[in-house]
Structure 1
Amino acid sequence: MTLHLTEQSATLRLRQGRLLVELDQQILTQMPARKVRCVVVWGNVRLTTPALTFLLRNQVPILFTSLDGAFYGAAAPHSLAPAARLRAQFNAAGSVRLRLAKAFVLSKLCSSRLVLSRFAPRYPSVRELLAQLEPLAARLEGTTELDRLRGYEGIIARLYYQALQGPLSPYGFTGRNRRPPRDPVNAALSYSYALLLARVQLAVHSVGLHPEVGMLHAESRRNPALCLDLMEEFRVPFDLTVMRAFMKGTLKPLEHFEDKAHGIYLNEAGRKVLIRLFEERLTQEATHPAGWKRPFAATIEHQAQLLAAALLQRGDYRPYHLVMP
């Protein structure tokens, strides 16, 4: 399980084989320590040295983010990945890097088209923007330059978010924005992406790949480029969770959000709702284009394994994307 520490000024302690979250000497929650596979620290939460030591000794990564989802960094267990795997990742260039980067972008395109096709019958604007996405698949296939591929990825994202203005306009959505988010939908999307990044980080770490050495995204000390690469396959599927939350009234703009620092952010109640929905989504079945079905959590892990194998040239990489039921 992933342990999300969201209660501000709380402390995570280890006591008799259990992890306890305490605030003002009151136990908020507790669980068997060995059931925790990842810890995400949101904002101002403390970890005692025994708790931190236990987590690192048991290969449990700890991710640190701001309360609003900005990724700060990670405390990872000291373990050496197979040298051949890291060498293959660092040396990936030319056709190998381009092929993998192209797979991530094609996945994003396929999922974006499928989601927008569901809204197209009711929204003429969605139909128009969907038509602009249609020819991009052929252009992607013929691309031989990484920078041009990144440009296409940007176009796909722009058209996708622009198309969502129709169905999401009742909730104040006028297009993608962040830092700060200016409406409830963008606040929820940013928080959802932070949750997703934590899960992808866990998968990348588990297969011994370096999170900062990407194929599509440029390397950066500030961002885990490879995790952002793999995330592209799952952004749109988890966007659906956010969309449904608004459309079903599970997330309410007046009840679950607050104005703060010139932006709109989830409040404590809203964060708890979205974390619950995200964890539920991880247990739901995902159908891979190859035909097999697994929960989303297992699918993310499997894609990381496939990526590691592809870097070692032990098989082709087939990305995940949404498919018609």
Structure 2
Amino acid sequence: MPQPYVSSRRLVANSLSAMLAAIEVYNKPRMDYRDEVTVVLVVNAWELALKAALRQAGKRIFYPKKRNEQYRTLAVEDALKQVVTHKLFPAGVDGRALAANVTALTEYRNRAVHLYAADLGELVYPFLQTSVLNYRDFMLDRFHKDLADSITWQLLPLGAKAPTEPIQFMKAEPATCAVAEVQDFIDGLRKLLDATQAAGADMQRVAAVYDVHLRSTKAVTGADLVVSVAHEGERVMVKKTDPNQTHPYTMTELVKRVNAKRQGPGRDRALTTHDHQALCWKEHLRDNPRMAWKHSNGATHVWSGDAVRYMVDLTDAQYDVIRREYREHLRATKAAPKG
């Protein structure tokens, strides 16, 4: 049996239809199973789009055929790996971050389709919102198709309550039978986000969330920070962070990682710790908790994946200006009368 012919044009058309259906479903004023259906459609849209990109680039979208079995196309997880490997994401967009976003939604989809998922809609929303924006950039770059031409963008954020931000509202005590399943999903999500951030990925391309944690109201004292607990004990808002995961780099390691990731026009010079010191003075990076962290008894700061991304984005010319201003600042400080 010959390998089936697959039209990248049809894949693109069906992908756009799936994404538009997802947006329409999510914005219905009343609908049960909203989050699950929306995620299924968004992941389907991504799977078709990824396969279309691979097909357009002349890459395989089928697994090797097994004897007496039909051809099988790549699952979304494997299609995503191939697109990352072949660097088919838009130029200037962090493919690792986009992959993390799709991976998080795919994991939720798998649990919802094959078993069930607890009420995690407020957790999923930031990933969905970011995924739609990522998808628009991807389709516009690869296929010159603008999703915005087919929808009213004002609809997407509409709702009776505001979406959550980095600190997430979570069910305090989901059904007993769902606790292990929910906890396992959240643990996997936290590991994915920690690894993606530590790799210096653009977290704005993943979601408006950096860390989540599930707590029973009977055990909230074990959290690093408890913001509030509803009177009825239904929801708890918690933020839990581990600086060993979110800020894993010393200054030397930070500069080394930045140099490994800097490439392209205007980013030819290897940076030094002096560049980092000048940037810290200019932008007050040590005072930014997203960038730096220091234990109250520690002597030096440690740095996050956001710091990596921030330093990578600056050009050599920008660093030259900052170094010059820093040098003038040091001279002025030295020349100033003491007293």
Structure 2 length normalisation: TM-score? 0.25
Relative contact order (C-alpha < 8 Å, sep 6+): which is higher?
1
Q: Quick check: which one's strand share is greater?
A: 1
